[in-house]
Structure 1
Amino acid sequence: MKKVIVITGPTASGKTSLSIKIAKHFNLEIINGDSVQIYKDYNIGSAKITKEEMEGITHHLLDIKEPGEPFSIFEYQKEVRNKIKELKIPLIVGGSGLYIQSALYDYQLHERQTQELPSVEQMKEALKKLDPKLDTQKLSETKIINAYQSALAGEKRSEKTNSKTPIYDLCILYLDIDRAILKKRVETRLEYMMEAHFLDEVKRIKQIPTANLNIIGYRQLSDYLDGKTDLETAKQLIITKTMQFAKRQKTWVKNQMEAHFLNALDDNLENQAIELITNFLKEKS
């Protein structure tokens, strides 16, 4: 089974910094695991790695789509799996758990069905009729998508055995961080983003009619630009939404993946990660 390394965790937890150190140490290339960073121009608000920060490490699936250009989870799954075939030992870095999981686990996605998926709530409502025995409250977002797709194809998930089967040999590192400290980091990062002209970035993206602005940070600043709120309220809402998302990210990983939880603030973090990965690479798949 092909070995794949994953570094994930909430925003502002230090994923980028650690990933570069790990990539250098093991001579790896990085695959983007952030659904926003796939797009060009969403740079400041997504905390996209810069050329300087890459330090010469090759990154894949960054800036591969224009704003407003469709890109489904099916396409992401396909692209990542192709990259995994090409690379000796892939390193996936990002916080989009749904996307990462779709690529690494045995989820059957279909191109036609993922181009225009309804919202999760709409899929839940549809499943009440399509598969009434299914308890959607206990399902992750990925499983709701799969259940919806299966139901459309005439297969009821309630009649199947649920599984969380990885299709690769995985070493998943989750950078955990105290919530109070994370909030301070998120606040500091937002101020840095505002100084780096995040508002101008949102203005530019708003000029593209089909561009997606339903993203934390972009949505709130777009509302401010539309006169729906004041700037301070928008900024506070960004912080609140980011913290809520971080909580969901952690719960997701705990429930959906077998991960090593590492203290993101530990002075020995890099050595801990290197040791875990070294042992992982020594093990037979």
Structure 2
Amino acid sequence: MNNKMQKKIIVIVGPTASGKTSLSLKLANFFCGEIINADSVQMYKEFDIGSSKISLKDTHIPHHLLDIINPGEQYNIFYFQKDVRNKIMNIKIPFIVGGSGLYIKAALFDYELNISKNYENQSYQNVTIEHMLTFLFEKDPNLVLDIKNPRRIISAYRQAICNSLRSQKNGSNRPLFDILTIYLNIETQFLKPRVILRLEQMLKQGFVQEVKYLMNKYPNANFNIIGYREIKEFLEKKISFQQAYDLIITKTLKYAKRQKTWFMNQMLSLVQLEALDPQLETKSIDIIKNFLKKGKLND
């Protein structure tokens, strides 16, 4: 077994407002671990309120890949894969928290991201930019992409198509590490009021003002992100505030549903825990202790 396969990784995932951040801080503190952020929006500086980004001033837990890029700069799954793998090998007990399922899998599994020359000439030229954007954001709603740059959109679309074809050939379900994934489950009837409360808190913290500030300072930044997109459209007088409010809630809940389906189908060694369970922290600690001691959950 190589050094990578011996390296144990704990992944904490779940929908918005499920308590991932709170739980990960407690677990990282208990196990003297470090947190690697897998939320693509939180990687960008000043996208704070709308991404529910933790302030590093409020915690002593080391965080990685948080506030590392200026808005408008290019950062994609290729950079993330490289950065996470480098970080992992230098952290004793890494906790990956997020975020984009596709990003996480690309970093932790034998996911080939090199573009195959066999697919260089795929007939994507006949596909509209709108179709490309729809396809890309359906695959990853939190994808950060300069939507005003057609060349980047075409490049991202081509890469996504090629990667889908290559992943089918290359067995992308082979993990490179010993992975434990904890998914925080919460049913929609309980998640919706938490999402509403989260949005209300964001608005009180100045979410609208944050988006306005970012629009003025970084006009080329990507705002095609749930929450930021709707508030931007409100500020541009394309929709009413109530429409923006309702759209954020609806899209967040739909995204949560897609996330759950994706993680259940794609991540190995996944343990599903109830986010509202009073014993969540204790159960998580016991599961991780067993994982770290025995290596594999089924040993």
TM-score by length of 1: 0.85
The partner residue of 2:35 within 30, 37, 44 is 30
**C-alpha distance in structure 2 between counterparts of 1:147 and 1:203, whole Å:** 31
Show CA shifts across 1:220-260 (max 9, x none). 00000001111011000000000010001100101101210
What is residue 291 of structure 2 aligned with on the other side? 280
**C-alpha distance in structure 2 between counterparts of 1:158 and 1:265, whole Å:** 35
Q: CA deviation at 1:98?
A: 1.1
What is residue 47 of structure 1 aligned with on the other side? 52
Aligned in 2, Cα 1:255/1:68: closer, same or farther, shift over 3 Å?
same
Instruction: Report whether the alignment pairs 1:5 with 2:10.
Output: yes
Q: CA deviation at 1:51?
A: 2.6
Letter matched to residue 40 of structure 1: K
What is residue 230 of structure 2 aligned with on the other side? 220
Q: CA deviation at 1:209?
A: 2.2
Confirm or deny: 8 A CA contact 1:108 1:146 kept in the other structure.
no
Q: CA deviation at 1:83?
A: 0.1
Confirm or deny: 8 A CA contact 1:107 1:146 kept in the other structure.
no
Task: Show structure 1 runs of 5+ residues with no match.
Answer: 126-139
What is residue 66 of structure 1 aligned with on the other side? 70
Q: CA deviation at 1:149?
A: 2.6
Q: CA deviation at 1:275?
A: 0.5
The partner residue of 2:249 within 217, 239, 242 is 239
Letter matched to residue 42 of structure 1: F
Confirm or deny: 8 A CA contact 1:7 1:92 kept in the other structure.
yes
**C-alpha distance in structure 1 between counterparts of 2:176 and 2:32, whole Å:** 23
Task: Show structure 2 runs of 5+ residues with no match.
Answer: 118-123, 141-156
- 1:250-265 to 2 correspondences below 5 Å: 250-258=260-268, 259-265=270-276
Q: CA deviation at 1:148?
A: 2.5
**C-alpha distance in structure 2 between counterparts of 1:150 and 1:101, whole Å:** 13
Aligned in 2, Cα 1:217/1:283: closer, same or farther, shift over 3 Å?
same
**C-alpha distance in structure 2 between counterparts of 1:24 and 1:235, whole Å:** 35
**C-alpha distance in structure 2 between counterparts of 1:216 and 1:267, whole Å:** 30
Letter matched to residue 148 of structure 1: I
The partner residue of 1:160 within 157, 169, 174 is 169
Instruction: Report whether the alignment pairs 1:184 with 2:193.
Output: yes
3-state SS of 1:248 partner: helix
What is residue 103 of structure 1 aligned with on the other side? 107
**C-alpha distance in structure 1 between counterparts of 2:65 and 2:29, whole Å:** 19
Aligned in 2, Cα 1:165/1:91: closer, same or farther, shift over 3 Å?
same
Aligned in 2, Cα 1:5/1:236: closer, same or farther, shift over 3 Å?
same
- Give the number of equivalent residue pairs: 263
Confirm or deny: 8 A CA contact 2:35 2:95 kept in the other structure.
yes
Letter matched to residue 67 of structure 1: P
Confirm or deny: 8 A CA contact 2:19 2:275 kept in the other structure.
yes
Aligned in 2, Cα 1:249/1:59: closer, same or farther, shift over 3 Å?
same
Q: CA deviation at 1:108?
A: 1.2
**C-alpha distance in structure 1 between counterparts of 2:21 and 2:201, whole Å:** 17
Letter matched to residue 250 of structure 1: K
**C-alpha distance in structure 1 between counterparts of 2:182 and 2:73, whole Å:** 31
**C-alpha distance in structure 2 between counterparts of 1:161 and 1:110, whole Å:** 12
TM-score by length of 2: 0.81
Provide the aligned C-alpha RMSD in A: 2.9
Q: CA deviation at 1:111?
A: 8.5
Letter matched to residue 11 of structure 1: T
**C-alpha distance in structure 1 between counterparts of 2:51 and 2:41, whole Å:** 7
